[in-house]
Structures are given as C-alpha cells and as structure tokens.
C-alpha cells in the first residue's frame, strides 16, 4: 500500500465512513466542493465601511505610511519628474525596468536601464540600485499592493533584490477597499506577491526594524487622473 493510499485510508477511518458523496456543491469558482461546502457561514463583511474612491485612496496612503512606506501623489503629467526625482534623491545609478512599463514613466530619469531578463543572475540583480513597477491592484484596508507579474511588474525577484522599490498605483482604478474584493479580482494561476510596507522584522525584542532581506525602502506613487 502506498503512503498516499495509507493516509487517505486513515482519513476515511478517522472521519467515519461516508456514503458515496452526494452531488458536489459548487465552490466559489464553480468547481465542485465536498458536500456541505455551501453551508459555511459567509455573513462576514465584504468591506469594512462605505468610502468614496478618494477616501479609499486616502486610507491606502495612511495605512502604507503607517508601515513606513513613503507615499507620493501625482498625475500623469507630473509622474516622469516625480520618478526621476525619487531615483536621483536615492542616488541611484541603475534602475530595473520590467517589460510593459509605460516608457513615458521614466522619460525624465537619467539612470542606466537594466532589463528584467530570465537570464539575469541574482548576483547581477543585487548590483542594481532601484526598481520601478506598476501593480495588479492595491488594498486600502490593509495597506497592501499586490503584484501578479502582469505588464509593468516583471518577475517576482526584481521587486525583492534591489534595496529601493518604487511602485506606481493608478488611483482610484487599481484601489480596492478590502481583502475579499481583492481576491475576487486576482488570478490564482499567476504568481502573486502581496506587499504591505517595506521588509521588516520584529524578531529582536519585538522592536520593529525595516529592511532585513527585501527592499528597505518602499515608495508608493498614487497616480491620479490628470486635470486636462
């Protein structure tokens, strides 16, 4: 008997023999769950509060700042200068640019561009100063930005190895209020990275220290609609 069969047999004995499973009830995405799945209580809130898009963006900014991410706001006219300024202020000489990042975003930046390539080694990426990306969405209630390797976000490692990450969030379009609303929009088949503030540890006497292994500086740019 294989270990697989042994474990499954032990489970069936442990929970009591059940008759042949009734017609599976649909799970959240339409696939069959086990009988009884639909009876799990779901009376918790989809969202904690009623907010205007502006209020949601403000809440996102406040929660990000509380976890010591720097938050900036601009529109598409101001974005190239803002990004160039952030990179210059950091003293960055090189910047990682994922495929699909709108070229206009970095049109004012003088830094040497490093492409996100599968062939790059981790050591090569370690030599890069900054990375600029977009995101899949951001969650206001938790102060999180979510990357799904879509256009303008690149591979997971490029937002991890450089010490400075600038993430552009289109507000309000990419801002959702809550975790349940965010999950409903995400595709589990893609690799997902939720980022809530910069890398941090509380392992030494529970004193929070930013930056252990991931980027020590996280800057989030809320890109709002232009006035024109």
Binders of other proteins among residues 175 to 204 (CB under 8 A) are 179-180, 183-184, 188-204
Please count the residues of this chain forming the interface with other proteins, following the rule CB under 8 A. 78
Pick out residues in 80-99 that bind other proteins (CB under 8 A).
none
7: contact with other proteins by CB under 8 A:
yes
Specify the residue, 90 or 160, whose C-beta has the smaller distance to other proteins. 160
Q: Looking at 89, 91, 213, 228, which residue binds other proteins (CB under 8 A)?
A: 213
CA distances to 59, 60, 70, 112 from 66, rounded to whole Å, are 10, 10, 9, 32
Least gap, CB of 99 to other proteins (angstroms) = 11
Least distance CB 86 / other proteins (angstroms): 20
Output the smallest distance, CB 212 to other proteins, in A. 4
What does the alpha-carbon distance between residue 160 and residue 166 come to, in Å, rounded to a whole number? 12
Whole-number Å distance between alpha carbons of 21 and 149: 39
Give me the 9-28 binding string for other proteins, x by CB under 8 A, dash otherwise: xxxxxxx-----x-----xx
Q: Does 100 bind other proteins (CB under 8 A)?
A: no
Closest distance to other proteins from the beta carbon of 93 (Å): 20
H-helix or E-strand spanning residue 181:
helix 179-185
Least Å from the CB of residue 209 to other proteins: 5
Shortest CB 60 distance to other proteins, Å: 11
- Among positions 27-46, residues that touch other proteins (CB under 8 A) are 27-29, 31, 33-37, 39-45
Q: What letters, b where the CB count within 10 A reaches 16 and e where it falls short, cover 3-33? A: eeeeeeeeeeeeeeeeeeeeeeeeeeeeeee
Please, what's the b/e burial string for 166-205 (b: 16 or more CB within 10 A of its CB; e: otherwise)?
bbbbbbbebbbbbbeebeeeeeeeeebbebbbbbbeeeee
Of the candidate residues 89, 122, 227, 228, the single one contacting other proteins (CB under 8 A): 122
User: What CA–CA distance (Å, rounded) separates 24 from 30?
Assistant: 10
Q: Where are the alpha helices (DSSP H) in 53-137?
A: 53-66, 79-90, 122-126
Q: How many residues does the chain have?
A: 228
The interface with other proteins within residues 131-150 (CB under 8 A) comprises 139, 141-144, 149
């Amino acid at each position: 008997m294989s270990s697989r069969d042994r474990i499954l047999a032990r489970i069936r004995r442990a929970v009591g023999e059940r008759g042949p499973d009734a017609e599976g009830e649909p799970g959240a995405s339409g696939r069959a769950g086990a009988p009884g799945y639909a009876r799990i209580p779901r009376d918790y809130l989809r969202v904690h509060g009623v907010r205007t898009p502006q209020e949601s963006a403000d809440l996102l900014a406040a929660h990000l700042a509380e976890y010591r991410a720097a938050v900036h706001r601009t529109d598409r006219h101001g974005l190239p200068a803002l990004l160039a300024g952030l990179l210059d202020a950091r003293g960055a000489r090189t910047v990682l640019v994922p495929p699909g990042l709108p070229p206009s975003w970095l049109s004012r930046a003088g830094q040497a561009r490093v492409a996100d390539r599968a062939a790059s080694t981790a050591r090569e990426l370690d030599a890069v100063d900054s990375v600029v990306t977009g995101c899949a969405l951001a969650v206001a209630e938790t102060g999180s930005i979510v990357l799904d390797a879509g256009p303008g976000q690149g591979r997971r490692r490029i937002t991890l190895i450089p010490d400075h990450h600038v993430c552009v969030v289109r507000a309000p379009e990419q801002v959702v209020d809550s975790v349940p609303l965010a999950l409903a929009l995400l595709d589990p088949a893609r690799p997902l990275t939720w980022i809530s503030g910069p890398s941090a540890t509380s392992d030494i006497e529970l004193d929070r220290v930013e930056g252990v292994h991931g980027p020590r500086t996280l800057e989030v740019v809320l890109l709002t609609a232009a006035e024109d």
